[in-house]
Amino acid sequence: MDVPQARFPQAVNPMERFSAEKIVGGVQATKGEFPFLVSLKSSYGSHFCGGSLIKKNWVLTAAHCVEGGYLKGVTIGLHNQADTVGVEKFTVLQIVKHPGWDTNTMTNDFALVQLSGDSKFAPIALNTKEITKADFVTAGWGTTSEGASSISKILMKVSVPFVSKETCSAAYEGITDSMLCAGYAEGGKDSCQGDSGGPLIMGSGASMKLAGVVSWGEGCARPNKYGVYSKVNGALDWINTTTK
């Protein structure tokens, strides 16, 4: 079995056997397009994973992003990593990993992060339905090519279509019911290192819903190697119970 590569920057990799993700084949997002998107920061203040504001004081990200104790702060409202005008910065009150999270299989790759205060930005709604067809958007500050050493300063986005479990299982062993796949058979567009924990989005504008969390893949944007996301509608009970 191919070792799954978490979409996590190797510079602050909490699990040596994984390598993280960034947007490949995308375009710059419009400033303010994804107000719920957050940047997880290390003790050095550097971005290493994304996340989504789902309540005023709760962020949903990937469990593999919070392994190793790197998470020290959360920044909301960023577009350019070098421009912090108008952004919010929070410390972390608590981190709750999904009880079914398995570091070996990447099953249930979810974590909830409680912020030190309430954000003024609007949270994203959660998708509650099973998906059989969709065009998604994923966004982040990850690397823009596989193996790149630095993240993108500007927020990038890319459109990726839904991939069935059957098709994805032909590309990878170990696709579980907690996972959702998206991407192109020909490759070329994908999330990549540094995008881990970020959103897989359905819809647009005020009707955007969070369908998945960037989790893993083999390389980035390779042909027949889709991006694998943690499926939000399969974790609703845990999310609602934890954040109530």
Predicted local confidence at residue 152, as pLDDT: 79
pLDDT band, very low/low/confident/very high, at 15 (cuts 50, 70, 90):
very low
* DSSP reduced 3-state for 211: strand
Question: Across residues 210-233, what is the average pLDDT?
Answer: 91
Over the chain, what is the mean pLDDT? 88
Query: Of residues 242 and 2, which shows the higher confidence score?
Result: 242
Domain 125-233: what homologous superfamily? Trypsin-like serine proteases (2.40.10.10)
pLDDT band, very low/low/confident/very high, at 7 (cuts 50, 70, 90):
low
Query: Residues 6 or more apart from 228 whose CB is under 8 A from it?
Result: 4, 106, 168, 172, 175, 179, 180, 181, 215, 216, 217
CATH number for the segment(s) 37-121+235-243: 2.40.10.10
Distance CA 118, CA 55 (A): 9
37-121+235-243 and 125-233 have identical folds: yes
Distance CA 20, CA 15 (A): 10
Question: Across residues 120-133, what is the average pLDDT?
Answer: 98
Predicted local confidence at residue 226, as pLDDT: 92
Predicted local confidence at residue 3, as pLDDT: 40
Query: Residues 6 or more apart from 150 whose CB is under 8 A from it?
Result: 143
Distance CA 129, CA 118 (A): 28
Query: Of residues 104 and 187, which shows the higher confidence score?
Result: 104
Q: Active-site residues: which are they? A: 64, 109, 196
The domain locations on the chain are 37-121+235-243, 125-233
Distance CA 9, CA 39 (A): 13
- pLDDT tens digits for 42-80? 988 899 999 999 999 999 999 999 998 999 999 999 999
Question: Across residues 9-35, what is the average pLDDT?
Answer: 63
